Amino acid sequence: MAKVAWVLGGGSGIGAETVKQLSQRGWTVAISGRREQPLHALSVSHGARPYPLDVTDFEAVKATVGRISEDLGKIDLVIFSVAAWEVTKPGRYDYESYAKIIDANLLGAMRVIDPVVAQMRRQGFGEIALVASVAGYFGLPRSAAYSSGKSAMITLAETMRTELAADNISVRLICPGFVKTDLTAKNDFPMPFLMEAEDAGKRIADGLLNSRKFEIAFPLPFVLILKTIRLLPYPVFFTLMSRLISQPSK
């Protein structure tokens, strides 16, 4: 019996490329996103099962978990790859912008996790992969809402990994660097080690299916640089961040 994956944020970007990779490797893949047309296109091209969904609607999320479980019999793997992003000017902390990003990126994950964990407990197994970002390693200028939400997701995944082990539910963390998508096309600042979405999808699928490590992070040179920065004493760290924020936009 084929394994079943549910990819949220699967209509475009990294999520769509991950859907393609899993489908090509024999998985049955359910895909969710707000826009129906991309989901339908992946259904036609890769046999994915579309379940349109807005992760800010908790009742709809719970209903979708139930439909997928009933339609496909189980959920082996859930990949939460939803991402909301807005370019903001340094020093701006307007509530509406922050609420929109946090509601989709972090609270959206919580709306999914609650019923998914219940389903996986009933079936006796499962795996949850949360797509955070290397931007969550520390507070990056120009991305306060996005970085803080992704930082919280990293902490959430670390907590869940320990707490759900006894339920035979594995939790994985995915931290990509800059990837060419519609979201990053909005960026007006340099993006080192920028990679193609297809490459990111392959790395995610390889990491999930061919290893058991907790964190799947790439590209490695960028990850090592950022993790080193995270260890710097605060005076050095803030000096470096001040230099970043003074760099001119594109």
Q: What is the pLDDT of residues 119-170, one digit of tens each?
A: 999 999 999 999 999 999 999 888 899 999 999 999 999 999 999 999 999 9
Q: Report the pLDDT value the prediction gives residue 140, as an integer from 0 to 100.
A: 86
* Domain encompassing residue 222: 4-245
Which residue type does 30 have? A
| Residue 40 included in any domain | yes
What per-residue confidence (pLDDT) applies to 148? 94
Is 160 within the bounds of a domain? yes
Asked if residue 79 belongs to a domain, the reply is yes
Strands 4-8 and 77-80, bridge-based pairing: parallel
d(CA 30, CA 147): 28
Query: Comparing C-alpha atoms, which of 21, 16, 128 is closest to residue 76?
Result: 128
CA pair distance 68, 66, nearest whole angstrom:
6
Give the model's pLDDT for residue 84.
Answer: 86
How far does Cα 38 stand from its chain's mean position? Answer: 18
How far apart, in whole angstroms, are the C-alpha atoms of residue 55 and residue 52? 10
- Residue 163 falls within a domain, yes or no? yes
The answer to the question of residue 100 being in a domain is yes
**What is the rounded distance in angstroms from the CA atom of residue 17 to the CA atom of residue 31?**
12
Give the whole-angstrom CA distance, residue 11 versus residue 83. 11
CA distance 104 to 175: 17
Residue ranges for the chain with pLDDT beneath 50 = none
- pLDDT, residue 175, reads 98
Q: What element of type H or E holds 120?
A: helix 108-123
The pLDDT score that the predictor gives to residue 163 is 98
| Overall domain count for the chain | 1
What's residue 177's pLDDT? Answer: 93
pLDDT at 249: 53
Structure tokens at 197: 């979405």
Residue 250: inside a domain: no
Which is it for strands 126-131 and 77-80: parallel, antiparallel or unpaired?
A: parallel
CATH code, domain carrying 205: 3.40.50.720
